[in-house]
Structure 1
């Protein structure tokens, strides 16, 4: 931003956010009168505190303020009606902004109760929580469509992606059945949905699975042994659906994984998306929010066009890089074309009409439907851009068991990477089961990073070509064998070996650059996202 504009920008932002942050005292418009004990529904707003005057709308943007302040009729939460025998409190949950808790029914199945409105207080340092900056950050919640999550289930169903089925409710101001923190939910608008985490929740969209875990449990297992594999093809489908919906907040914590038995005692983990808080995000329609959207790439606005694939995928970069390295371009494009066939006009219109309250549908529905239809037309182009983004730098990781990484520089457009198991190799064979195989074109891929992790691994590089991606080899702990007989035209060496300077069988060739060091920094590998 030009500095001569900085002062008026700050002054206008402060003026637009100058009132003390607050939340509506109760979702009901007539909250001063008692809600009858037998009431089944109530006239409520999701967040009428997001209303702004002309200055606020100009600076911060109209966003979805009208939908947040729109009076809608919602059912009153009655725990005894949600499941046979009702629900009982299990634990509090939620991230930095959402107030949520977990409950369970008599069969042990889990349910999440989450406020639709957010409180970003914990995302800011304490020194900023009493300033206009907190008000501005909190106000950004209005960029999310409060009823967007309820549109998603029929669309996900048609797309062939597992999904939850959230429902909106109003919590009575005297509700005490939500455990020790009941008062934090009283008078609030919430969503209730099944949680697909843990074996006790295997049914519905994950029926037939033999296990059900979160990313923080599945990813370490993937790198621990050769038995657990991630379904990259299913993940491409889920990720294209994410971007079609404009859902930019898809980090590793937003996924569960259903494990399905495969031949030879293998297990394939299929993705189960969770938390659709940011679908249909609308942010850059104000002066300040437009400027912020140019600085913070992930704040993309949902509309007929895809604004930035890099922005949509920023929060998911860690999980994307771990799940997608084996998926070729053809799979991305074929999946996009299949989604175009599945997501018909009828499916879209029914989902939007069913998910939005009638009063909100009247002015948001047609616009949302038109945007979804336009974005559907551009799904193949989106898929190609997504593939190219993922193909630029590719991470190929082994496990803590022994593997052989074979790199064949076959031609100027094909460098083939294969990974084989060296565990229990059958007699008469040089290597065991094929774990990974993909051909890389240097016009698409700049670098392929190979991680042996633990175990005694082998890295064999061969071939003579004019062009090839960089092959970065990270041997990991324990002794590894590296043999490079390849040659690539040009002065820059295209094979680089990162490891400790000792305890390896290192046989470099003319194409090998020795990047070993007298430390173990090259052994670092983030297995679950906690090391970022």
Structure 2
């Protein structure tokens, strides 16, 4: 599946082209940009057509169409073009025998790639995902006929075609649920796929476990109650509560390489499109790595402390040993390892060794502005401004007084805390006196909310801002209260897709 992250990067490139390179529209799109088949040998391909069952493995190129001359590489970068063009020996998929037999359940993947869901005889589901990502169809029709289409198609060369193979052993060492992909080639006109044979045939794929429903509750997620959601979360029931454990899905951007080349370098600057960050031996820009995940990071990790970040980083440094890294990189096809194995191994070891420093920088980024969201039930938010400048935040469920959230914030790390109620009638209490304090934004959400602010922070500016509708909202203001009530319904709306206020 073509990830949203990569789509965003492509859109950014397109916008950049409009700004920097209007002359590109004077050219035409290449009609036959992609190679006809990944199979290198004409004789082997002819045999696949005539007697497909006689061939059990083939030598393929994942993307020979990403080869470029010196001038193009000087402007747009060498990226991973050598890996895309390198010959790789892979098995031909036999749907009748693999996993006891595979049947196509459905076809997905949109316009950029193909993602087929397969079901084995055991009931376990698998994903068949094309290695190459064909992106030009995301462009408006008129632009598809211009040279811009060629440039957009070429962005796939920044992806590592075999990166997902390396990720699985690293995830295992880190204790993260994961799929274990393997490379396969689907022969032309694969009759076992019935009406899908034409769409799925003659392509190089990653075949891996698909964690999409209760049929996949095994291995790393054994004991889960269900698997739910677009992001794929393993759901557990513990003590009457529902707990969710994420299952990583897309690894398309692993070992991304973009910034080498004049235009690529310009586009990846902090003042341009910061998220175009290449995989190097150092963490050059941790902030760039968080741009696309910012909205979900804010929701998933508001309670994690600096000490926990530091502790986990050191645990990972111990668990992801040199042997683990070397074994992970050895999962690359033999020819690919010969080209890049030693370099990638050294980069991974270097990043592992510097993980604690990068983790602390990540923590500082997340801590600058923290979003604390309540439940769909009635909640009590308690904020205590402490004399040393710390701010103690506790969220309790009103029905049983159970603490749903607790964290102490420090003024040297956090500039703003956003407390967001959701449904029902929530209560917000802010108290305490201090010489310096953190700005607290209260967003009531739906329901008849109550806000009590008796806090006092010395200095200029009010430190408690209240957003809600004036109707049926009770606000008892103090010296720090700034009321931002409005009759507009969006004043207390919670945007689950990317909160901004």
Q: Tell me the TM-score normalized by structure 2.
A: 0.91
Question: In structure 1, how many angstroms separate the alpha carbons of the residues matched to 2:446 and 2:32?
Answer: 52
Superposition deviation, residue 13 in structure 1: 6.8
Contact 1:16 1:60 (C-alpha < 8 Å) held by counterparts: no
Q: CA deviation at 1:529?
A: 6.0
Q: Counterpart of 1:130? A: 145
Alignment of 1:475-514 (within 5 A): 475-514=444-483
Aligned with residue 397 of structure 1, among 365, 370, 373:
373
CA–CA separation in structure 2 for the residues paired with 1:179 and 1:303: 44
CA drift of 1:15 comes to 10
Distance in 1 between the 2:189 and 2:115 partners? 18
Aligned partner (choices 316, 326, 333) of residue 293 of structure 2: 316
In structure 2, list runs of 5 or more residues that go unmatched. Answer: 1-16
Q: How far is 1:434 from its partner?
A: 0.6
One of 75, 80, 85 as aligned partner of 1:69 = 85
Partner Cα distance (1:439, 1:81) in 2: 57
Q: In the alignment, is the contact (CA less than 8 A) between 1:259 and 1:270 conserved in 2?
A: yes
Cα distance in structure 1, aligned partners of 2:499 and 2:185: 36
**1:13-412 paired onto structure 2 within 5 Å:** 19-20=30-31, 22-31=33-42, 33-35=46-48, 36=51, 37-84=53-100, 86-215=101-230, 255-263=231-239, 265-294=240-269, 295-353=272-330, 355-412=331-388
Q: Aligned partners of 2:364, 2:153: CA distance in 1, in Å?
A: 35
Are the equivalent residues in 2 in contact too, given 1:21–1:135 (CA < 8 A)?
Answer: no
Tell me how far apart the structure 1 counterparts of residues 167 and 22 of structure 2 sit (CA, whole Å): 39
Assess, with a 3 A threshold, how the Cα gap between structure 1 residues 477 and 530 changes in structure 2: closer, same or farther: closer
Work out whether residues 171 and 187 of structure 1, in 8 Å CA contact, stay in contact via their aligned partners in 2. Answer: yes
- Displacement of 1:530 in angstroms is 11
Q: 1:279 to 1:525 in 2, by over 3 A?
A: same
* Compared CA separation, residues 529 and 111, structure 1 to 2 (3 A): farther
Shift of 1:159: 1.2
* Residues 365/16 of structure 1: CA separation in 2 closer, same or farther (3 Å cut): farther
Q: 1:185 to 1:491 in 2, by over 3 A?
A: same
Counterpart Cα distance in 1 of 2:297 and 2:22: 40
Q: Deviations over 1:344-403 (max 9, x none)?
A: 1111111101x2111111121111011101111110111001101111111111112000
Deviation of 1:474 (Å): 0.6
In structure 2, distance between residues paired with 1:464 and 1:473:
18
Question: For the residues of structure 1 that align with 2:189 and 2:27, how far apart are their CA atoms?
Answer: 35
Per the TM alignment, residue 83 of structure 1 is displaced from its structure 2 partner at its CA by 1.4
Instruction: Report the 3-state secondary structure (helix = DSSP H, G, I; strand = E; otherwise coil) of the residue aligned with 1:145.
Output: coil
- In terms of mean alpha carbon deviation, does 206-215 or 438-447 score higher? 206-215
Q: How does 1:455-494 map to 2 (within 5 A)?
A: 455-494=424-463
Q: Cα RMSD over matched residues?
A: 2.2
Structure 2 CA distance for partners of 1:292 and 1:402, relative to 1, 3 Å: same
Q: How big is the shift at 1:11?
A: 8.4
Count of paired positions: 478
Listed one character per residue, the Cα deviations across residues 206-252 of structure 1 (whole Å, up to 9, x for unaligned) are 0111111125xxxxxxxxxxxxxxxxxxxxxxxxxxxxxxxxxxxxx
Give the whole-Å Cα distance in 2 for the aligned partners of 1:174 and 1:476. 55
Partner of 2:10: none
State the alpha-carbon separation in 1 of the partners of residues 199 and 449 from structure 2. Answer: 55
**Other structure's SS at 2:97 match:** helix
Residue 9 to residue 419, structure 1, CA distance change in 2 (3 Å): closer
In the alignment, the residues of structure 2 paired with residue 392 and residue 343 of structure 1 have an alpha-carbon distance, to the nearest angstrom, of: 29
- For the Cα contact (< 8 Å) 2:368–2:414, is it kept in 1? yes
> For residues 495 and 529 of structure 1, what CA distance do their matches in structure 2 show?
23
User: CA–CA distance in 2 between the matches of 1:132 and 1:190?
Assistant: 28
* Alpha-carbon separation, structure 2, partners of 1:454 and 1:198: 29
**CA positional deviation for 1:10:** 3.4
> Displacement, 1:181?
3.4
TM superposition shift of 1:70? 0.8
483-492 or 86-95, which deviates more:
86-95
1:52 Cα deviation (Å)? Answer: 0.7
Contiguous gaps of at least 5 residues in structure 1: 1-5, 216-254, 426-431
CA drift at 1:526: 2.1
Q: Distance in 2 between matches of 1:12 and 1:363?
A: 36
Equivalent in 434, 440, 443 of residue 403 of structure 2: 434
* TM-score normalised by length of structure 1: 0.86
